[in-house]
Chain A
Amino acid sequence: MLRQVLVRLLMAVPVMFGVLLVGFLLMQVVPTDAALVRAGPTATPDVVEAIRRDLGLDRPVAEQFLLYLGRLLQGDLGVSIINNIPVAQELGATIGPTLELMAASLVWAIPLGILLGTVGAYWRGSLLDRAVIALGVAGVSVPVFFLGLVLIWLVGFHWQLLPFTGRGGPLWSAEGLQAIILPALTLGGTFVGPVARMTRTAVLDVLSADHVRTARAKGLPERAVVLHHALRNALIPVVTLIGLQIGFLLGGAVVVETVFSWPGVGRLAVGAILSSDFPMAQGTIIVLSGGFILVNLLVDLLYVAIDPRMRTA
């Protein structure tokens, strides 16, 4: 068990290193002078030179990379070219909303997906099952921005039921709750189909297993057979698969945040790239990738924890 955990941790290290290298590379290829940017427009050449020395920009590239890593560890991600705000400060303000959006999407999409998948598998071949399959295919085929635009037009504009731009406020306030509904419906909407599909396959597998037949043979009520004997076992692979997909939800979040002007990391990243704000782009990419790696690591560990067979494997 401990060895498993260590191996996973060690595997994450080179990946994170690669991400940081990409971030560093990004700062190398850009045509702007980082020292000039930090110094601001009114600085004298002496000051710029001092900052350049301070940042180590006059050292060899390899050494600069180490200095860069050192600054990252201290939470210094540089300063935005556009508005001179420290990147770390801006990132700190956007991580919360992104996590909020992802949580609000998963909280309804996962239960609904599991329910639909189980229902589909139980009444295999029925009209309901076909509907679940169709939903699964449609869910992986629809562009997430299409879903968002349709909801904005229909619910936000035509029916005037819910707000569709920005974050209304903290989640516990009425405005905050209203504002998150449409973005969460959009992002979660792309997640229901895959979850249903995975659950359906897993439950179908388990339903034909010996222990389920035994449970039926000893006269357990059907509800107990499905809920306790089938679904519980089917959920082990489903949990892992969902965990692996959560990372990909981050990609969807980038699009959803842009569509709904949601003040998260994804929107910040896209805005920074489009306005050539390289330090900001670098910071957002590191945070998004780092978050993704962290989620994957947690899922791996969770898998080891819930499936006893993994411990010896």
Chain B
Amino acid sequence: MSATALETPAARPARRRDGVWPRLLRDPVAAVALGFVVLAVLAALLAPWLAPSDPYDNNLLAAMKPPGTEGLPLGADGQGRDLVTRLLFGLRVTLLMGLVATLAGGLLGMLLGFLAAFYRRWLDMPIMRVMDVMLSFPAILVGLAIAAIAGPGIPAVVVAMSIATVPLMARITRGSALVVMQLDYVVAARAVGCTDAQVILRHLAPNCLSPIFVFATLRFGQVILLGSALSFLGLGAQPPTAELGAMASEGRNFLFFAPHIAVLPCLLIFLLVLAFNLLGDALRDALDPRMRF
């Protein structure tokens, strides 16, 4: 009996969310952005089946061929690798890096946020002060430091991207957790003797998820942007791995002979980040019209 009574308020955000998607899709910009994101994710998932060739298959005779060449709709890179294939696989690696970093950094940030809100008396100050410091630090510098210690490579960049996600996620989580903790059902759950872990996982976490989700979307573009910048610097994916930032960096060597090699991966990063940013903004507006920019 007490279980159902406690569960009822949890259903409220779900009902409110019903209204969010239609509201979101009524905005044409958001609809296009969402469409692009869905398309990009599908293309990345299906890359091995969609790609016309192997991403490491080079044909030096085709090197630097411009877009529109027969059999190479987007041309070939400096080593004669098909750019459609490279871009598909690059997108896959870039999105995967962003996803892993957002999940890892997001979960750690959420945990810290919940702890800060729940054990407000002892943990709030220390956790949030550390978050403030992390927040104020330029992510590229963190990336440089990690790459210097651990050596350049995708893991170093993903760690830097995760670290950039933690403090903001902790702050958002703490903010919404503090509100939810005041609600009757949380107070009731504590009163009936639920353990701290039960209260946090069963009652607090599910009801804080919607702002956290929006925030993750808002941040995803920036996380990708950071990762591609670090890879462009040579600190992330190493050649011949197809990753959009690294591809742009390789293409830089051919800028004056075959600009498309650098421009295409750059353009794809730009569109991807733009789509995520627009989607995040629209999602925020749809959830809370008062925050409209």
The answer to whether A247 and B138 touch across the interface, beta carbons within 8 angstroms, is: yes
Within 8 A of A (CB), among B184-234: 221-222, 225, 228-229, 232-234
* 6 smallest beta-carbon distances between A and B, as pairs: A251-B140, A146-B266, A251-B138, A141-B274, A281-B148, A141-B273
Range, interface on chain B? 35 or more
**Cα–Cα, bound, A138→B234 (Å):** 25
Judged by a CB distance under 8 angstroms, whether B270 is at the interface is yes
**Cα–Cα, bound, A18→B133 (Å):** 10
In this complex, the member of A140, A157, A282 whose beta carbon has the largest number of chain B beta carbons within 10 angstroms is A140
Within 8 A of A (CB), among B238-284: 245, 248-249, 252, 255-256, 259, 262-263, 266-267, 269-270, 273-274, 277-278, 281
The one of B133, B144, B248, B281 in contact with A273, judged by C-beta atoms closer than 8 angstroms, is: B144
Count of residues in A whose CB is under 8 Å from the partner chain: 49
List 22 A–B pairs whose Cβ atoms lie within 8 Å, in order of A's numbering.
A25-B149, A26-B149, A29-B149, A137-B277, A141-B225, A141-B273, A142-B273, A143-B245, A143-B248, A143-B273, A145-B232, A247-B138, A251-B138, A254-B140, A269-B144, A270-B144, A274-B234, A281-B144, A288-B144, A289-B137, A292-B137, A292-B141
In this complex, the member of B149, B262, B278 whose beta carbon has the largest number of chain A beta carbons within 10 angstroms is B149
On chain A, the residues within 8 Å of B232 by CB distance are: 143, 145, 255, 258
Nearest A residue (CB) for B259: A153
Main secondary structure of the interface of B (DSSP, over half): helix
The answer to whether A255 and B233 touch across the interface, beta carbons within 8 angstroms, is: yes
The one of B137, B148, B281 in contact with A26, judged by C-beta atoms closer than 8 angstroms, is: B148
Interfacial residues, chain A to chain B (CB-CB below 8 A): 14-15, 18, 22, 25-26, 29, 133, 137-138, 140-146, 149-150, 152-153, 157, 197, 201, 244, 247-248, 250-252, 254-255, 258-259, 269-270, 272-274, 276, 278, 281-282, 284-285, 288-289, 292, 296
**Cα–Cα, bound, A157→B259 (Å):** 11
Judged by a CB distance under 8 angstroms, whether B152 is at the interface is yes
Nearest A residue (CB) for B281: A137
How far does the Cβ of A155 sit from chain B's closest Cβ, in whole Å? 13
Judged by a CB distance under 8 angstroms, whether B91 is at the interface is no
The answer to whether A149 and B252 touch across the interface, beta carbons within 8 angstroms, is: yes
On chain B, the residues within 8 Å of A141 by CB distance are: 221, 225, 270, 273-274, 277
Main secondary structure of the interface of A (DSSP, over half): helix
On chain A, the residues within 8 Å of B233 by CB distance are: 254-255, 258, 270
The answer to whether B269 and A270 touch across the interface, beta carbons within 8 angstroms, is: no
The one of A137, A197, A201, A292 in contact with B274, judged by C-beta atoms closer than 8 angstroms, is: A137
In this complex, the member of A146, A252, A272 whose beta carbon has the largest number of chain B beta carbons within 10 angstroms is A146
Judged by a CB distance under 8 angstroms, whether B122 is at the interface is no
The answer to whether A274 and B248 touch across the interface, beta carbons within 8 angstroms, is: no
